Amino acid sequence: MRNILLKIEYDGTAYAGWQTQRNARTIQETIEAALKRLTNRKARLISCGRTDSGVHALGHVANFHTDSKMPVNRLQRALNSILPKDIVIKSCLEVHSGFHSRFDAISKTYRYTIMNGPSPSAVRRDFTAHIPYKLNFALMRREAKTLIGRHDFKSFQAADRIERSSVRTIKKLSLRKKGEQIEIDIEGDGFLYNMVRNIVGTLVDIGRGKIPAGSMVRILRARDRKKAGDTAQARGLCLMEVIYRNG
């Protein structure tokens, strides 16, 4: 049985997220249907994680096991020929049998993009969150530094069906401003449900003065979701890269 890794780029606007759901169109089920069409066999994609409705990806990773003999370069071309235009297989590789897209990942990087001005973007409307309020960018950048390192991020965890540890490590958290556009990059060893969007929403609330300056330490220590800010819109979020052991 072969183990095939897919690196996937997608525009999540038209999908109810990654994970297969009843009565909803998802990225996972769309790719699995294409694989079945090509190999005449049902394939189950093992994902590096799940993304919510409207979230995008430039470097989502998933793997699946198959007894198909189709060469990986041919499989990539064939998938891209039948997948909808908003899903693209960027690479297709055969990996060792024990590789697991989720458990072997050592870090993920997300980018959140904000259009901070009086008007939204027409061209990038599905890929940026429009924040019309004036934001104190320097303050947001200072407050973000509090979150770097290993902490309990319970205050930034949305309600989840599965009970799990809320301790995570944020390796990098950077903010950049280019004109009216703000980019927030977060790299971590793993993320809780809605953790990135809740962090961004809190930074925005601090930047607009809704939450007082200096509050991030208190919010982090509170371990209470009610103490943090609003959840940022899904459309501004993109999974950029997943890093694995041994490259």
Active site residues: 52
Counting beta carbons within 10 angstroms of the beta carbon of residue 232, is it exposed (0 to 12), middle (13 to 18) or buried (19 or more)? buried
What's at 234, amino acid-wise?
A: A
Please report, for residues 49, 87, 155, 178, 224, the alpha-carbon distance to residue 227 in angstroms, rounded to integers and kept in the order given. Answer: 26, 37, 7, 30, 6
The partner residues of 6 in beta bridges, in order of sequence, read: 62, 92
